[in-house]
């Protein structure tokens, strides 16, 4: 059973544009919602994370929007750059258990 | 801070041999370590959870006799792939819970295993 659905599978954005990736989940027990960036051959690196007591969190060009009632959260990358080209994963965390990852989104930012 | 050092980054081994992957927490004590496997263009799939000083808990479908996990200290966890076969070729990644306000996770840089 897929606990988190991530979309789109791939995304092409022009330099300077906004990249938006979405995740939806079912189980309300989750209390930690991070986004990870992964480059080929590297481990995932935390970009930004949010907990369910806030609806939005911004760090630099990266913003998480969280809709608790809809059980959805999204990553917005403002002013996307070619260096942002990578695979992005949303994840779900609960009570110090292992994270459950989304299926990933391959982002390509064209110069 | 909160760095997990994973070695080796790449390893090629012959079919039937064993390979050990190490993950060390450099600046914190990792009481819990997670091991993931990632096939090309796929997501990270949890293999097992290890707690310092106790037996690892394996996910359904993961052979515990094939993927031996040892977490003998608060700073070191190892994954040994025994009698490796080509289908074990994958990207293996460790992760640890970071003890801080609330909690967070840090990941190793991954090990690319190729079995020939």
The per-residue pLDDT for range B95-114, each reduced to its tens digit, is 999 877 566 899 999 999 99
At which residue do the structure tokens 């070695």 appear? B7
Identify whether the C-beta of residue B105 lies closer than 8 Å to the C-beta of residue A93: yes
**pLDDT value at B75 more than 70:** yes
Residues from chain A that touch B106, judged by Cβ atoms under 8 A, are 46
Question: What is the spatial distance between Cα B58 and Cα B46, in angstroms, rounded to a whole number?
Answer: 9
Residue B72: the pLDDT is 82
Residue A1: the pLDDT is 59
Residues from chain A that touch B95, judged by Cβ atoms under 8 A, are 98-99
Query: Which residues of chain B have a Cβ shorter than 8 Å from any chain A Cβ?
Result: 6, 32, 34, 41-46, 49, 91, 93, 95, 97, 102-110, 112
Question: What is the spatial distance between Cα B4 and Cα B13, in angstroms, rounded to a whole number?
Answer: 24
């Amino acid at each position: 059973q897929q606990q988190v659905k991530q979309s789109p599978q791939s995304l092409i954005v022009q330099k300077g544009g906004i990249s938006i990736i979405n995740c939806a989940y079912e189980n309300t027990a989750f209390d930690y919602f991070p986004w990870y960036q992964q480059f080929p051959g590297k481990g995932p690196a935390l970009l930004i994370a949010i907990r369910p007591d806030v609806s939005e969190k911004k760090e630099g060009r990266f913003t998480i929007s969280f809709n608790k009632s809809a059980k959805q959260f999204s990553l917005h990358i403002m002013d996307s750059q070619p260096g942002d080209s990578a695979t992005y994963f949303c994840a779900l965390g609960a009570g110090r258990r292992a994270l459950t990852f989304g299926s990933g989104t391959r982002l390509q930012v064209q110069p | 801070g909160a760095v997990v050092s994973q070695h080796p980054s790449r390893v090629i081994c012959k079919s039937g041999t064993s390979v050990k992957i190490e993950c060390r927490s450099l600046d914190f004590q990792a009481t819990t370590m997670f091991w993931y496997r990632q096939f090309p263009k796929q997501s990270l799939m949890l293999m097992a959870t290890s707690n310092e000083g106790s037996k690892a808990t394996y996910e359904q479908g993961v052979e515990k006799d094939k993927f031996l996990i040892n977490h003998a200290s608060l700073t070191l966890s190892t994954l040994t792939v025994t009698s490796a076969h080509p289908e074990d070729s994958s990207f293996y990644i460790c992760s640890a819970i970071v003890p801080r306000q609330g909690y967070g996770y840090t990941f190793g840089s991954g090990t690319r295993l190729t079995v020939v």
